[in-house]
Structure formats: structure tokens, C-alpha cells
Amino acid sequence: MKQNIPKKSNSSRNKKVEALAAVTPVADDAHLTTNQGLMINDDTNTLKGGERGPSLLEDFHLREKITHFDHERIPERVVHARGAAAHGFFQCYEGNSKLTKAGFLNDPSRKTPVFVRFSTVAGSRGSADLARDVRGFAVKFYTDEGIFDLVGNNIPVFFIQDAIKFPDFVHAVKPEPHNEIPQAASAHDTFYDFISLAPESLHMLMWVMSDRAIPRSYRMIEGFGIHTFRLIDAAGKSRFVKFHWKPLLGVHSVAWDEAVKISGADPDFHRRDLWDTIDDGGVAEWEFGVQVVEEKDEHKFDFDLLDPTKLIPEEMVPVQRIGKMTLNRNPDNFFAETEQVAFHPGHLVPGIDFTNDPLLQGRLFSYTDTQLTRLGGPNFAQIPINRPTCPMHNNQRDGHMQQMINPGDASYHPNTVGGGCPMQAKENMGGFVSYAENLNGGKVRGKSEKFFDHFSQATLFFQSQSAAEQQHMVDALTFELGFVKRDAIVNRMLFLLAQIDGGLADKIATGLGVVVPKSIDGRINMDVGADAGKETETKPVKKPAPPSPALSMANTIKDTIKSRKIAFLAGDGVDEASVTAMKEALTSQGAKVAIIAPHGGFIKGSDGSDIAVDLSLLNVASVLFDAVYVPGGAQSVAAVQANAKSIHFVNEMYKHCKSIAATGEGVQLISASSINTASDGKGKNTTVDPALIIDDKGDVTKVSAKFIEAIAKHRNWDREKIAQSTIPA
């Protein structure tokens, strides 16, 4: 497919940029050398004892070359293995000294470099981008005060409350160990066995079964810091904070059927989308937001701020947008940057601090331990992509892959041999001082009472979704549980889902051909300790809070078609004026247009002009586009309609609830695709479908305005019931 052919860079790779890592250009007269700089005379033949003799051990070039090749693959990440990344910068809108003393949040003139890595979670590096999964959203800020890593996801809560359960959760969601199946999917027994025995996971499960788990693009996902952190101002006052990223393009998803087909048409869909956008000179942008809670209000909520399976509804605490992040440069080398970047939630700067969130506390150990194994030793922070941009001095020496040459006799503190350097920095000089939180209590293995409510926010999330989103969640859970082979696990899941919403559980049970159990075996709960027993037997389910509109994607921003991909189906004899007018209307709003024809090369316009073809119907898939337009021209429409793939193309567009427009004779192709195009005889479509805009009189001006409005809204999910019953699969 043409989409899979790497494009020659015409922007970021050829620009002069201020790189965070040293990039050595290859001169026009450069010679091949060893790693030590020795120029190579022959890179084709091994040194042998005679032309047909054995290879000699003394061939140092052979040994170096093969050894490096043998070790070019490092252990992949246990989770978040498949990723994509980009460089950019962050800039705050104004000073925020009333909240924090962090320098990068207080100087609007400062552009803080960032490196952002997006990822799926469960799959291996070779899995597809469109798996139903959480998306990692990790941001490395190269601030003047040191590295700040905000390591989050596109979902604001997590599956577990305590890091001690993290190995169990990951083992459960990964492919089953006896056959390594299924890849990058949670639709199997071990995952739902764990979920059904750990009801704290139910809130996160609702998010993962929602449309948020199959995003349209990395550029169209929200990001969340998940944990509650602290902001510290210059006076030492602490406030609790939740971090948010709000995409300026809005939050959009794809349909599940579409995701399955994209995985076959282009398994690199998300990675390619991010790369191509930036490579074409575009950007990806998010606003940085904070939810701030004063210390005195810590306990005013029905949930515990330290519980990572809970969120603060935005209706309770609005998100203050305090800055913007722009990604505008692709990595120069995937391995050196995207693969070797090492994030750590413990990388903080003065003005930001931890809380006692038990999941966060465990991550502070886990991330360092992981990097030691994955990146070969304690010096992974010296890899260029991980280095701070501010001065760095310490007494750490030696170790595997030490890259710094440290002069001087002193490698300890305190010392006089080195003049006392490097010395400790006082707080007023920018030294980091941990917040002096008051602690009390004995050593226990437990959690606060509010941690035991695992249903209220799961119910809140489900009941806050639009009708279409709720149906998608029903479909997702029915699909997933349909792969679970053990009846006992299905029964436990249905019982727990009924505690979230009875209607949800009933619909899933109907789809599975079973009934929702009235109770589950209490002995199973006892097997996993007191928690499960409390949740399902002794603790009454709390009445959920009123629905939160902010939790529904239906209520997110839908005011732009920037970077959307629009397909034009055309052939020889196409109404060239319509093509030009529609293309100008769409591209003026930032959309990308591709001419798709029965053949490659060029097609002839009705005025005799040559129109370049971007893609052929022979090797294109509708799922790679956001909308379709069929211009007029009797000869053109006849040629396109003669290719059966065009009918399938339009059918899928309709089935996936995307915007469709047609003018003049183009309306005939829509009608031929089993789509109702009832007209009042004056060129106006009388069907009630705002995403189907047709005009057989060929008024492109009127159609383009409505088409742009429909594309901006992303989908007309109301079409699903019609499409499922009338459009061929």
C-alpha cells in the first residue's frame, strides 16, 4: 500500500534544530571506520587464511561488527513496549507562583524542551497500534532545574490501588503463559479471573471498554498523571494536584470494527499518523491543566485522594489550563531516542512533590529497577535522550557503560581534596527539599476505609456516557467475556457488573446467552482476603454522584477538521470545478485531501485538465480516512462505480458513521451503495443524517460548509442502528 512507503522527509529531518542530544552528521567525504575511528579498507570480505581458508580470530573488524549486531536488541519493556515519540516544547501561559515554585511553570517566556512517548500497554513491540488498550502518555521535561517526568496514561485511573499487586495484574493481562495467546488483548480467562477477584479494577475496566481505548490518533487523546501529587509554593505551602493534558484537536476514537480493519490495513496507523503529521510540518498540541485541592479539603470527598482508582470529577474541581505543549520534531533515530528513553515518576523538580499514593510509592522503586535491566546498568541517565539540559554534577563513578570522564581526586562528599565540590545546594538556591508532611500511625499492611468503595465511580463513569458510548461498552464487554472459557469467571464478572449498572449486566448476559447470577460464592472472596468480601457482601454499594458530562467523549471539543484525511473518489471525466472547490474548502481548514481513482497516475477532468491521483482503489482502505466526497461527472461516477471496491469503500464509511458528501452525479454512487439518499427533487437530501450531505444539483459551496461541520463532529453515532441493519458487511 502506498501509505506504507516511507516518505522522504521534507521538514523536521532537514531543519536545523537545537537537538537535545549530539547528532553527528555524515560528511560527503566520510570513510567507514571502526568504533575507535580506524578507517576500514575492506568491509566486504572476512580476513581468512587463504582465499578459501578459515576465518581468522584476529579480524578485529569482523568481531566488532558482529558483536555489535548481536547486541543491537535490548530487552523490551515489560509494559508499554510498543511506542512512538516526538520532541517539542512546553510554555506556560502566565506565572503560577500562587501554586508552585517550579520554574518552568512560572516563566511564560521560557520554552522548556520536552520529549513525549506514547504507547500501548499490554502488547509486545511487534503488536498492532489499534489494540483495545490503555495508551501511555509520558512526558520528559528538560527544565532548567533538572528533569521532570510526568509518566501517565490516556485514562485518569488505574487497575490497582497498591503497587504490590502490579506484577499480578501484568501477569494476568499479558498473553496466557502456556501458549502466549492472545497478543495485545485482554479477552481471555486470566485477565477476567484477576478482575473478578479484584473489584478495585472495575472503574479502570469501564474506561478500557469505552471508546477511549481505541483512539483515532495519539494527537487526539487526553493525558492524565493518574496519581495525586503535590504542588509546593515558595513559602512551602502544599496543595494537592491532579495533572491533565487536553488535546487541541479534541478527543476522538474509531469504531471497533474499524479498528480491526485498520490493524490489517496499517498496523502502524498511530505511529505513522504522528510521524507524518510532524514530517509534513504540522504539530501536535495539548493544553496542560491542573485540578488543585487545598490541604484543608483533603478529606471532603467520598473517595480518598490517595486512591489511584479514583478521579476527581471536573464538575467538583475544574481543570485550570495553565500552559501548552507543542510537539514539532520527529526523533532522528528510533532506537537511540524512542526506545532508550527512560521515564521515572520519581524525577521531580522543586515545586512538585509526591503524596503517599501506594501505587505511586511502589513505582518509585520499580522504574529504576526496570531501567537497570533494560538499559544495561546504572548509567542509563547518561544516554543522550535521558540527559538533563542543565548542569549535572555528582560523585557517581564507574559502572557499566560509564560515558562521563570525571577529572579530579575526590568522588565523595564531604571533601576538602576537591574544594568541597560538588556541594549541597541550599533551598533558596534551588535545592530540592521534600515536603515536611506530618506522619503518624503504626506499621500496617492495609488501606483507608474509603479505598473499599469500588463501584461508585465505575457507575459514575458508565452513567455519564452517551447512549452510543454505553452501547459500545456493552458490545466490548460482551465481546471480551465471550472469549472467557470458564463459566465461574463469567458469573463473577456479571455479578460485579450488576453492582455497577443492572442494565449493563443484563445486556451483556443476553449477548452471552446466560443470566446474571443473584450472588457469587463467598468462599471465592475469602480466598483473596478481606477486600473482596467487604466489597460484595458487607459493604453497601454507595449511591453514585450525578453524571459527570466531562467524562463523556460526546461532550469534548469538536470544532476543527485540522489534519483529518478526506478521500475523493473520482475517475476520468470528473467535474474538475467541484473537485477544486471542495479541496480548497477543506484544505483551508487544515484537512488533508487524497484523490482516489480506479487507476494510478492521472485522471482527466471534465475540462480536459490532468488531475494527479494520490491512491488507487486497488490498494486503499476506507478505514484510513475520516470522510469521503464523491464529486459529479457522469463519466467519472460510472468509472468509479464499475469498480466494486468503491461501493465497499462508501459502505464502510457509512457503517463506521463517518461523514459522506456527494454532488451532482456523485449522488448516484451513494445510492448504489445501499444508502438512503431520498431527495425532495430540489437537490436536498431529506434523510435525517447530518453526516450525509448530498446535492444532486452540484452546489459545492453549500455542501462543503455542512461537510466541514460534520467532519468536525467526527462521527454520527446515531447511524449505527441503521447501518447495522441495512448496509452489507
Least confident range from 189-193, 327-331, 437-441: namely 437-441
* C-beta separation of 610 from 572 below 8 A: no
In 10 A of CB 531, how many CB atoms?
Answer: 19
Domain of 711, CATH number, reads 3.40.50.880
**Domain carrying residue 224:** 83-165+211-386
Q: Is the preceding peptide bond at 598 cis, omega within 30 degrees of 0?
A: no
Mean pLDDT, residues 528-547 taken together: 53
Q: Is 643 an annotated catalytic residue?
A: no
**SS in 3 state form for 243-301?**
EEEEECCCCCECCHHHHHHHHHHCCCHHHHHHHHHHHCCCCEEEEEEEEEEEHHHCCCC
Residues of the chain with pLDDT > 90, as a percent, come to 70
Task: With respect to residue 107, please indicate whether it lies within any of the assigned structural domains.
Answer: yes
Task: With respect to residue 242, please indicate whether it lies within any of the assigned structural domains.
Answer: yes
pLDDT > 60? residue 249: yes
Q: In the chain, how many domains are there?
A: 2
- In DSSP terms, 117 is beta-bridged to 85, 138
More confident residue, 35 or 371: 371
Residue 425 has what pLDDT?
83
Catalytic member of 80, 203, 227, 252: 80
Residue 49 has what pLDDT?
84
More confident residue, 550 or 66: 550
Q: Express each pLDDT in 18-30 by its tens digit.
A: 444 455 566 777 8
Residue of 513, 522, 474, 466 lying closest to 497 (CA atoms): 474
Domain of 365, CATH number, reads 2.40.180.10
Q: Could you give the CA distance from residue 40 to residue 62 in angstroms, rounded to a whole number?
A: 11
Q: Could you give the CA distance from residue 679 to residue 693 in angstroms, rounded to a whole number?
A: 11
Task: With respect to residue 669, please indicate whether it lies within any of the assigned structural domains.
Answer: yes
Helix (H, G, I), strand (E, B) or coil at 467: helix
Query: Given its phi and psi angles, is residue 237 left (phi above 0), alpha (psi -120 to 50 degrees) or beta?
Result: beta
Mean pLDDT, residues 14-41 taken together: 66
Distances (CA, A) of 532 to 165, 307, 395: 14, 17, 48
More confident residue, 369 or 231: 231
Q: Which domain-ending residue is among 326, 355, 386?
A: 386
Q: Is the preceding peptide bond at 690 cis, omega within 30 degrees of 0?
A: no
Helix (H, G, I), strand (E, B) or coil at 729: coil
Residue 728 has what pLDDT?
56
Q: Express each pLDDT in 114-123 by its tens digit.
A: 999 999 999 9
Catalytic member of 153, 154, 386, 643: 153
pLDDT > 80? residue 371: yes
Q: Express each pLDDT in 477-504 by its tens digit.
A: 999 999 999 999 999 999 999 999 999 9
Burial tier of 599 (Cβ tally within 10 Å: 0-12, 13-18, 19+): middle
Q: Which domain-ending residue is among 355, 386, 417?
A: 386
Residue 366 has what pLDDT?
85
Q: What is the mean pLDDT of the chain?
A: 89
Task: With respect to residue 286, please indicate whether it lies within any of the assigned structural domains.
Answer: yes
pLDDT > 50? residue 321: yes
Residue 550 has what pLDDT?
95
Q: Express each pLDDT in 383-412 by its tens digit.
A: 999 999 988 888 888 888 888 888 888 888
Q: Which three cell numbers stand for residue 152?
A: 501517565
Q: Express each pLDDT in 287-320 by its tens digit.
A: 999 999 999 999 999 999 999 999 999 999 999 9
Residues of the chain with pLDDT > 70, as a percent, come to 91
Q: Which domain-ending residue is among 365, 386, 407?
A: 386
More confident residue, 675 or 53: 675
Task: With respect to residue 112, please indicate whether it lies within any of the assigned structural domains.
Answer: yes
Task: With respect to residue 173, please indicate whether it lies within any of the assigned structural domains.
Answer: no
Q: Is 347 an annotated catalytic residue?
A: no
Q: Which three cell numbers stand for residue 88?
A: 517539542
Q: Express each pLDDT in 176-225 by its tens digit.
A: 999 999 999 999 999 999 999 999 999 999 999 999 999 999 999 999 99
Q: Could you give the CA distance from residue 467 to residue 470 in angstroms, rounded to a whole number?
A: 5
Mean pLDDT, residues 585-596 taken together: 98
Q: Express each pLDDT in 511-532 by its tens digit.
A: 999 999 998 865 444 334 444 4
Residue 530 has what pLDDT?
41
Residue 533 has what pLDDT?
41
> What's the pLDDT band for 1 if we cut at 50, 70, 90?
very low
Task: With respect to residue 506, please indicate whether it lies within any of the assigned structural domains.
Answer: no
Task: With respect to residue 160, please indicate whether it lies within any of the assigned structural domains.
Answer: yes
